């Protein structure tokens, strides 16, 4: 990826150098720059330049999202990319600390009854779930502040994740997160398509029953299931057509085999009763002509002495 035009200012977010406004979330303050942020976020631009309280205080307060999500947004504004699993701004992240504590408690309480393999699987599921939820929250904050490029990037990252096989138990948390914060239609379609791939497991396990699914997302899931059914039906039709083609080809091959076998038996019969060429009378030394070399388009015996095909 080519360097983002504002990457060199990233260090100033920590030092506050050249900063002309601040964005706060809980106890964390990000010292930012009008020139970088305002062209990318019309919402923040309106707050800072539209005669609101933020215009004079030069302070934008974020109460709707956690520090990890805000940090990812800031990283994108200055670098054009983000990764919620890394902290290039070196802020202690409450969400990460809580997650590590929760995982430690889970491991301690279940250590006696879970195998090492099961613990690894559970930890991997938790990491994958948290990664997906982080991208959903980044998409939500991007939608909230009108950062179109970040909406597209977070959706693309989720598309990449969902292309890989998932543990279907993660989807209740995904649905809950979507129902609370996300309204981007492209993202809803992406998540719905991913859920549709595991609809059999989700329905048989009944883990979706307790969920209060937002209506638009529910419709997207139903439509995605319909598209998947159509896709599977086409695959089934293609499979039947392929099966018919295979059996037709096999039948033709069998008929050709039987015909050749019959012709070979006829040649053997001719050879057994032949003591010499019917034309020249010489001791019979023959060659077998391919069907393409005969008038009758079948295998035939030809005398090597005079060249006559034997009847």
pLDDT of residue 248: 85
- Answer yes or no: are the C-beta atoms of 49 and 105 closer than 8 Å: no
Residue-wise pLDDT tens for the chain (311 aa)? Answer: 555 666 677 777 777 788 899 999 988 999 999 999 999 999 999 999 988 888 889 999 999 999 999 999 999 999 899 988 776 565 544 444 444 444 444 445 545 544 555 556 777 878 888 899 999 999 999 999 999 999 999 999 999 998 888 888 888 888 888 877 767 788 888 888 888 887 777 777 777 777 666 656 666 666 666 677 777 777 878 888 888 888 888 888 888 878 777 777 776 676 656 666 666 666 656 656 566 655 566 666 666 666 566 56
Answering whether pTM is above 0.75, one says: no
**CA end-to-end span of the chain, whole Å?**
79
Residue 105: count of CB within 10 angstroms of its CB: 10
Phi then psi for residue 44, to 5 deg, are -65, -35
Task: Retrieve residue 222's tokens.
Answer: 């139903």
pLDDT of residue 293: 59
Q: Where are the beta strands (DSSP E) in the chain?
A: 21-25, 28-32, 59-61, 286-289, 300-303
pLDDT of residue 238: 85
C-alpha–C-alpha distance, residues 52 and 31, integer Å: 19
pLDDT of residue 153: 95
SS3 of 212-273: CCCHHHHHHHHHHHHHHHHHHHHHHHHHHHHHHHHHHHHHHHHHHHHHHHHHHHHHHHHHHH
CA nearest to 148, candidates 238, 8, 41: 41
Task: Retrieve residue 147's tokens.
Answer: 């950062």
C-alpha–C-alpha distance, residues 62 and 66, integer Å: 8
Residue with tokens 């008929």: 255
Q: What angle do CA 7, 9, 14 make, to 5 degrees?
A: 115
pLDDT of residue 214: 65
CA nearest to 199, candidates 211, 210, 208, 186: 208
pLDDT of residue 237: 81
pLDDT of residue 136: 93
In which element (H, E) is residue 77 found?
A: helix 67-79
pLDDT of residue 151: 95
pLDDT of residue 158: 92
């Amino acid at each position: 990826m080519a360097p983002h035009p504002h990457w060199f200012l990233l260090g100033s977010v920590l030092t506050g150098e050249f900063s002309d406004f601040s964005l706060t979330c809980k106890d964390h303050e990000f010292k930012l720059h009008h020139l970088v942020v305002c062209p990318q976020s019309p919402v923040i631009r309106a707050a800072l330049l539209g005669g609101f309280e933020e215009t004079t205080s030069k302070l934008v307060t974020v109460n709707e999202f956690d520090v990890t999500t805000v940090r990812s947004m800031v990283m994108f504004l200055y670098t054009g990319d983000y990764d919620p699993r890394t902290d290039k701004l070196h802020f202690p992240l409450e969400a990460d600390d809580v997650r590590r504590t929760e995982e430690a408690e889970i491991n301690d309480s279940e250590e006696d009854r879970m195998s090492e393999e099961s613990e690894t699987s559970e930890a991997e599921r938790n990491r994958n779930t948290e990664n997906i939820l982080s991208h959903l929250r980044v998409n939500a904050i991007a939608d909230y502040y009108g950062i179109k490029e970040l909406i597209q990037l977070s959706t693309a990252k989720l598309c990449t994740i969902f292309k890989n096989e998932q543990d279907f138990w993660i989807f209740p948390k995904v649905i809950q997160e979507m129902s609370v914060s996300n309204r981007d239609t492209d993202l809803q379609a992406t998540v719905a398509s991913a859920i549709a791939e595991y609809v059999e497991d989700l329905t048989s396990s009944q883990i979706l029953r307790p969920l209060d699914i937002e209506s638009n997302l529910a419709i997207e899931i139903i439509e995605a299931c319909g598209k998947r059914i159509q896709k599977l039906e086409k695959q089934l039709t293609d499979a039947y057509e392929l099966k018919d083609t295979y059996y037709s080809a096999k039948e033709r091959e069998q008929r050709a085999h039987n015909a050749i076998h019959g012709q070979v038996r006829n040649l053997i019969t001719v050879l057994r009763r032949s003591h010499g060429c019917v034309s020249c009378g010489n001791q019979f030394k023959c060659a077998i002509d391919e069907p393409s070399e005969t008038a009758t388009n079948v295998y035939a015996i030809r005398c090597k002495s005079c060249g006559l095909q034997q009847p």
